[in-house]
């Protein structure tokens, strides 16, 4: 049996350990580790969860990568059509990890009702549209069906419906300027609301309605095989930059690719700060926990000065005695980690399931509740990292053992 581990185990399990002077200090140190880990788990899970949720919402409206005509038009409205006959449509087989490609078209317009009006961008979609990403945002009604004949069904945001005083089942007229001559009488279309959505992203909810792409093709005098642009969805968002470059190289020279990071760079710069904030919180918590463990270790050494002297007199090396106290400290840190994981993961699982905690101002975070993302690998790495760094911090204060002489230590009271 390992000598140092055996002595450390006897010290931990001994009755005098529980009633010693160091007992309250040890409890404080364990509590500091537990509270620190709870804070780190919450910071990582909620920070990453919020980041994932925001980028999921942006991708739901635009896809991860957009492929359009290579022109100077940077507006969201589709001007120059793109042929639907492309090597990458309907399946992008030349690039790995592309989950879906869909054809869309945009056109600006104005909704007119008896009491008010509002500007919007009609997003024309077809039977290939990936509605799955929108299902969780549907608050009432159903999603439109564009698989058959040209349809008058539209999906409207709850925000826009409230401003226009409309609800599911209502019809309204929309006016669209003519692309060839804006001074001519606009195109008029009658639509029926079949569903309302609420993504929490006011910037997007306030302008997008979803309609049949064939309406936009007819108003723009396009053929059925002409669309505004393609939206590409990836399996892994972390590969976005790499895949955007790869897709650009795999498309024709007259086509341009643009990732949502480029289109919404301000949002992605903001959520990029989440990682820095999480790192700051983790660093502070580890330092606080480490300082408390240093205090506990010094008290333990002071309390066991006579034992240290006896062990030295019997021939034990300084490093051997230091290992005894480091084993002891590792045990105490492990207890703190156990309770920290139990409390932290318990709170996060409850939040993930029941959404107990809400943002006081949802508009600032584009979501009303605090999202949680749990990753087992990250949790394991965090626990190992906290244990390792705390023990590393304890190597310096344990050096005090080398300064203790056997004669003075045995006489110490």
Q: Is 336 exposed, middle or buried (0-12, 13-18, 19+ CB in 10 A)?
A: buried
pLDDT cut 70: percent of the chain above it: 94
Taking alpha carbons only, the member of 34, 53, 14, 11 closest to residue 370 is 53
Q: What is the pLDDT of residue 181?
A: 64
Helix (H, G, I), strand (E, B) or coil at 154: strand
pLDDT tens per residue, range 355-365: 899 988 887 88
Q: What is the pLDDT of residue 313?
A: 85
Q: What is the pLDDT of residue 1?
A: 56
Q: What is the pLDDT of residue 310?
A: 87
pLDDT at 16 > cutoff 70: no
Determine which of 13-22, 209-218, 241-250 has the lowest per-residue pLDDT on average. Answer: 13-22
pLDDT tens per residue, range 198-214: 998 888 999 999 999 99
pLDDT at 240 > cutoff 60: yes
Q: What is the pLDDT of residue 386?
A: 95
| Spatial separation of the C-alpha atoms in residues 113 and 115, rounded to whole Å | 5
Tokens found for residue 354: 């029941």
DSSP code at position 254: T
For residues 293 and 336, the answer to whether their CB atoms sit within 8 Å is no
Q: What is the pLDDT of residue 18?
A: 53
Q: Does residue 341 or residue 319 have the better pLDDT?
A: 341
Mean pLDDT of 243-268: 92
Mean pLDDT of 281-285: 92
pLDDT at 183 > cutoff 70: no
Q: What is the pLDDT of residue 205?
A: 93
Mean pLDDT of 379-400: 92
Cβ-based neighbours of 251, under 8 Å, separated by 6 or more: 67, 86, 88, 257
| Spatial separation of the C-alpha atoms in residues 120 and 142, rounded to whole Å | 21
| Spatial separation of the C-alpha atoms in residues 122 and 225, rounded to whole Å | 19
Write the DSSP string, 97-143.
TEEEEEEEEEEEEEEE-SS-EEEEEEEEE-TT--GGGGGGGEEEE--
């Amino acid at each position: 049996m390992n000598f140092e581990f055996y002595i450390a185990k006897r010290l931990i399990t001994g009755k005098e350990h529980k009633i010693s002077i160091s007992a309250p200090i040890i409890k404080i140190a364990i509590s500091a580790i537990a509270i620190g880990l709870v804070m780190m788990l919450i910071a990582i899970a909620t920070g990453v969860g919020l980041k994932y949720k925001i980028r999921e919402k942006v991708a739901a409206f635009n896809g991860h990568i957009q492929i359009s005509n290579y022109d100077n038009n940077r507006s969201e409205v589709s001007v120059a059509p793109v042929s639907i006959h492309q090597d990458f449509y309907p399946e992008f087989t030349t690039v790995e990890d592309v989950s879906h490609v869909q054809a869309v078209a945009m056109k600006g317009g104005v909704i007119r009702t008896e009491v008010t009006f509002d500007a919007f961008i009609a997003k024309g979609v077809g039977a290939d549209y990936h509605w799955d990403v929108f299902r969780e945002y549907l608050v009432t009604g159903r999603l439109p069906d564009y698989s058959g004949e040209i349809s008058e069904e539209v999906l409207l945001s709850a925000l826009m419906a409230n401003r226009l005083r409309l609800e599911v089942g209502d019809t309204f007229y929309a006016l669209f300027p003519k692309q060839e001559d804006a001074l001519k009488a606009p195109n008029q279309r009658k639509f029926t609301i079949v569903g309302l959505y609420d993504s929490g992203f006011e910037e997007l909810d306030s302008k997008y309605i979803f309609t049949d792409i064939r309406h936009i093709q007819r108003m723009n005098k396009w053929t059925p095989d002409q669309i505004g642009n393609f939206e590409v969805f990836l399996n892994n968002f972390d590969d976005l930059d790499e895949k955007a470059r790869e897709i650009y190289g795999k498309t024709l020279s007259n086509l341009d690719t643009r990732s949502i990071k480029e289109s919404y760079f301000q949002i992605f710069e903001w959520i990029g700060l989440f990682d820095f904030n999480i790192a700051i919180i983790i660093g502070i918590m580890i330092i606080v926990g480490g300082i408390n463990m240093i205090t506990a270790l010094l008290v333990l050494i002071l309390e066991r000065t006579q034992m240290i002297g006896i062990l030295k007199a019997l021939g034990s090396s300084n490093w051997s005695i230091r290992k005894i106290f480091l084993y002891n400290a590792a045990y105490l840190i492990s207890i703190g980690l156990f309770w920290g994981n139990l409390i932290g993961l318990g709170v996060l699982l409850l939040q993930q399931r029941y959404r107990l905690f809400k943002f006081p101002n949802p508009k600032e975070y584009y979501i009303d509740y605090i999202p949680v993302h749990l990753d087992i690998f990250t949790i394991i790495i965090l626990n190992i990292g906290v244990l390792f760094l705390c023990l590393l911090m304890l190597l310096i204060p344990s050096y005090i053992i080398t300064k203790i002489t056997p004669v003075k230590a045995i006489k110490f009271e």
